[in-house]
Amino acid sequence: MIEVKEIFSKKELKEFINFSFELYKDNPYWVPPLINDELETFDKSKNPAFKSADAHFYLAYKDGKIVGKTVAIINWDEVNQLGKKKVRFGWFDVIDDVEVTKALLSKVEAFGREHKMENMEGPLGFSNLDKVGVLTEGFDQQGLMITWYNHPYYKDHFEQLGFVEEKKYIESKFPFKNVDIAPFEKIANVLKQRYELKPINFTNSKDIMPYVDKMFELFNSTYSKLQSFVAVNATQIEYFKKKYIGLINPEYIKFIEDKNGNLVSFSIVMPDFSEALIKARGKLFPFGFYHLLKARKNNKTAVFYLIGVLPEYQSKGITAIVFDEYAKTFKKNGIETCIRTPELEENHAIHNLWKHFNPTIHKKRSTYIKQL
């Protein structure tokens, strides 16, 4: 018999998190989260996402043992601003038993119907800056800190239960040694003169902070035309400032300003923390912090996390300046591999930025949707 229970206590939330550790304990491609970081994400007093979202946490039990989990979410900004009456489900993990998946998602469906939602979609987090999608290809590729990994049977469960693919994402990588720097440097110099643009580089995290608000304003402008985009609000910006900026090697944040000091482009690249997180086993102490700090400073893999260009500059080749700046940094730091995080298949503007690097698609993922 399968029983699904809504959970509330910190003890239960730890069990919720630890279930994934048990499910993937023998899988070399799964990258564990930091347990305390997950707990903070689920803390309604700390995560500003809860100011505009309702969430319920569920654990599934079979014969007294935890066999699945999920979070049911309604992002009210998405509902009210975009008119999308959708209940989300995220942080979904389950054993290979479609009846467990059915039992968990029936709770999500009930939550959606209670609030008169029209469909349910997942896996999704609270906002556009959370993890997204179920892996559909690339199960033999190592995950990332900012993506979910899952077993191959997940999509089969969804399809058996009447879900269909909604949004498709691709992830790709390319060796840095294959990138010809000379053309980018030449184009970058021309564009900097033509549009009177100045690249801004950093060596200290505190020097980045004055630019972060502008960066997220530009982020909202860059992605506003995507049908699924919900703007990041001021409270969320403050949260991400405190939580993530310090993790990033400041050399890997690049801004471009015009002659009036207006931000026209930004990019955030992160070191690949995957191996460090595997070694940390979910805990910062006693050795997790050391592994993360080492990965932050000495890493041969760079993960492209976010890139944004002011709409009026998107067809002017401005990203050549961004890549030229990264090329200098990557060469100095001995970067060998560049990885792109999930990008919507429909986002052709972003794909065009990478075509000159001949990237290899090594993973695909999707969200799945069902009408209520």
* Domains 2-170 and 174-362 agree in fold: yes
Any alpha helices (H) in the chain, and if so which ranges? 10-23, 35-41, 76-82, 98-114, 153-160, 181-194, 209-223, 234-244, 274-280, 288-297, 319-333, 348-354
Contacts of 87 (CB under 8 A, 6+ apart): 72, 73, 74, 108, 109, 111, 112, 115, 117, 119, 120, 121, 372
Q: What is the per-residue DSSP string for 229-254?
A: --PPPHHHHHHHHHHHGGGS-GGGEE
* Residue 284 Cα to chain centre, angstroms: 21
Q: Which of 268, 260, 270 is closest to 212 using CA atoms?
A: 268
Domain 174-362: CATH superfamily, name plus number: Gcn5-related N-acetyltransferase (GNAT) (3.40.630.30)
**Residue whose pair of structure tokens reads 């556009």 in the numeric block:** 128
pLDDT at 227: 66
pTM: 0.93
**CA 176 – CA 164 distance, rounded (Å):** 37
Helix-helix angle 181-194:319-333, to 10 degrees:
130
**CA 89 – CA 100 distance, rounded (Å):** 15
Contacts of 132 (CB under 8 A, 6+ apart): 123, 124, 125, 147, 148, 167, 169, 342, 365, 367
Residue type, 196: E
Encoding tokens for residue 135?
């892996």
**Residue whose pair of structure tokens reads 């809504």 in the numeric block:** 6
Report, as ranges of residue numbers, the positions in the chain whose pLDDT lies below 70.
Answer: 227-228
**CA 183 – CA 68 distance, rounded (Å):** 51
pLDDT at 53: 95
- The pairing of beta strand 301-309 with beta strand 337-344: parallel
* Cβ count within 10 A of residue 261: 8
pLDDT at 4: 98
Domain-by-domain residue ranges, the chain? 2-170, 174-362
> Which CATH topology does 2-170 take?
Aminopeptidase (3.40.630)
**What do you get for the CA distance between the two ends of the chain, in Å?**
25
Cα dihedral 129→133→135→141 (10° resolution): 0
